Amino acid sequence: KYPYSHRASTRWHCKPNRRLFSLTRLQHTKSDAFEVLAESYEFNEIEGRCLAFRRAASVLKSLPWAVQRLEATQDLPCLGGHTKAVIQEILQYGRSFEVEKILSNERYQTLKLFTSVFGVGVKTAEKWYRRGLRSFRDILAEPSIHLTRMQQFGFLHYGDISRAVSEAEARALGNIIDEAVRAITPDAVLALTGGFRRGKEFGHDVDYLLTTPELGKEEALLLSVIDRLKHQSILLYCDYQASTLDMDQLPCRRFEAMDHFAKCFLILRLEAGQVEGDLQRVEGDSRSWRAVRVDLVSPPIDHYAFALLGWSGSRQFERDLRRFARLERKMLLDNHALYDLTKKEFLEAKTEKDIFAHLGLEYIEPWQRNA
Ligand code: ATP
Ligand code: MN
Ligand code: MN
């Protein structure tokens, strides 16, 4: 039931085995069959099926052996009839006709394109699609469309922020942010989270937690850091969201995409000279800098462990861990807290290890959380 416990699985790897993952990676389109199916259900707002395919993809990705016959998947969890039919198709023909149909669908293509812009969600993409818009040019030429500030910057830096961020770039940004933080509060706590903490080589952004040992000073620190980055002229965009944390509103029963900590979604300017090696660039691009998406989150120190666990991902791992807590332990876990429904009390934690211990699970390292 809990696919990550040590005993049940030495099979959860750090970096997904690319060769094996290629089972569902369609040879001629380079896209992952299950990710396409999940996305297509997401675009049609059929959440259950979307999650089912994401979970199936996670299970297959984690296998230390290649699936060569459908029978080999018999004892694997989370693979339903639909999933198996797609696996069978791929094993037999090297392609999935259902997936190909989706990929050639105009609505799918357009929503995929529109949602690739920073600040554009499925709802907005759908609205634009229904108005007959099909390309970025259509959107930008349509006078009646009001873009949010986030979307404006999403278009402005589209090329850069849709290009992967490398480990070296993430490290360079880490140094810049660390320097800014130390200059303001020498004993502040800064932690890399997200995909890079899980050992990924590339990411779509870089995520950090930032807090102070003294409770209540964390939000001011975040604002000062933003200010400093602005003065250094490396802040290209900042969407700041003040804390809305209210312990009386906790625990949240349903999984919330957003947490209540003070945070900012940034676009920063990274100079080539700051990066060991070079910037990630497309051929022929000789600029001396690129734009990178960065998330900074500032939980109060007494929520730090929960925030760290929640922001380290992966999304699928978080979903499965919360589900396990709820169903197997009668506990509610989110980015803020862990609540025991039986004892009717919050369980304190200083570290991620404490949280795993409360859940009665062996601790697993971030690199083992790449579900
Ligand atoms: P990538 O390389 O694509 O950035 P990632 O795992 O770092 O991969 P993110 O989208 O940066 O993905 O998110 C990191 C983690 O933070 C995820 O587990 C996600 O659940 C959590 N997260 C992201 N955005 C929010 C948010 N607005 N509120 C709460 N949690 C969030
Ligand atoms: Mn990330
Ligand atoms: Mn992020």
Q: Is 295 a catalytic site residue?
A: yes
Kindly report, residue by residue over 175-227, the tens digit of the pLDDT: 999 999 999 999 999 999 999 999 999 999 999 999 999 999 999 999 999 99
Among the listed residues 160, 207, 259, 320, the single catalytic one is: 207
340 appears as a binding residue in the annotation: no
Query: Which of 223, 183, 193, 138 has the alpha carbon at shortest distance from 307?
Result: 193
Q: What is the dihedral of CA 56, 370, 180, 171, to 10 degrees?
A: -120
CA triplet 177, 182, 186: central angle to 5 degrees? 150
For residue range 342-369, list pLDDT tens digits in order.
999 999 999 999 999 999 999 999 999 9
* C-beta of 335 in contact with ligand 1 (< 6 A): yes
Pocket flag, ligand 1, residue 195 (CB < 6 Å): yes
Q: In terms of C-beta density within 10 A (0-12 exposed, 13-18 middle, 19 or more buried), how is residue 302 classed?
A: middle
Nearest residue to 135 (alpha-carbon basis) of 118, 159, 154, 112: 112
Q: Using one digit for the tens of pLDDT, what is the confidence trace for 62-116?
A: 787 888 889 988 888 889 999 999 999 988 888 899 999 999 999 999 999 999 9
Looking at residue 291, the DSSP 8-state letter turns out to be: E
Q: Does the active-site annotation cover 160? A: no
Name the active-site residue from 138, 178, 227, 295.
295
Residue closest via CA to ligand 1's atom 29 equals 258
Is 207 known to sit in a ligand binding site? yes
Q: Is the CB of 274 under 6 A from ligand 1?
A: no
CA 189 – ligand 3 centroid, Å: 18
Q: How much is the pLDDT for 77? A: 87
Mean pLDDT of the chain: 89
- pLDDT at 8 (0 to 100): 33
Ligand 1 atom closest to residue 263's alpha carbon, by position in its atom list: 27
Burial class (CB in 10 A: 0-12, 13-18, 19+), 172: buried
| pLDDT over 90, % of the chain | 76
Residue 248: the pLDDT is: 74
45 sits in the region (left: phi over 0; alpha: psi -120 to 50; else beta) called: left
Task: Give the pLDDT band of residue 247 (cuts 50, 70, 90).
Answer: confident
Mean pLDDT of 1-30: 43
Cα 111 to Cα 117: distance, rounded to the nearest angstrom: 10
Q: What pLDDT is recorded for position 65?
A: 80
| Domains of the chain (ranges, CATH numbers) | 18-103 (1.10.150.110), 107-156 (1.10.150.20), 165-302 (3.30.460.10), 309-368 (3.30.210.10)
pLDDT digits (tens, 9 = 90+) for 254-285: 656 689 999 999 999 999 999 998 898 888 88
pLDDT at 309: 98
- Residue 341 is predicted with a pLDDT of 95
Q: Is 340 tagged catalytic?
A: no
Contact (CB, 8 A) for 320 and 371: yes
Residue count of the chain:
371
Nearest CA, atom 13, ligand 1? 194
Query: Parallel, antiparallel, or unpaired: how do β-strands 206-211 and 289-298 relate?
Result: parallel
Q: What is the C-alpha separation between 324 and 31, in angstroms, rounded? A: 30
Nearest CA, atom 9, ligand 1:
194
For atom 22 of ligand 1, the residue with the nearest CA is 311
d(CA 346, CA 326): 14
pLDDT, residue 16, reads 40
**What digits encode the pLDDT tens for the residues 286-328?**
899 999 999 999 999 999 999 999 999 999 999 999 999 999 9
Measured at the CA of 71, the angle between CA 316 and CA 321, to 5 degrees, comes to 15
- Which of 315, 104, 105, 91 lies closest to 198, judged by CA? 315
Burial class (CB in 10 A: 0-12, 13-18, 19+), 64: exposed
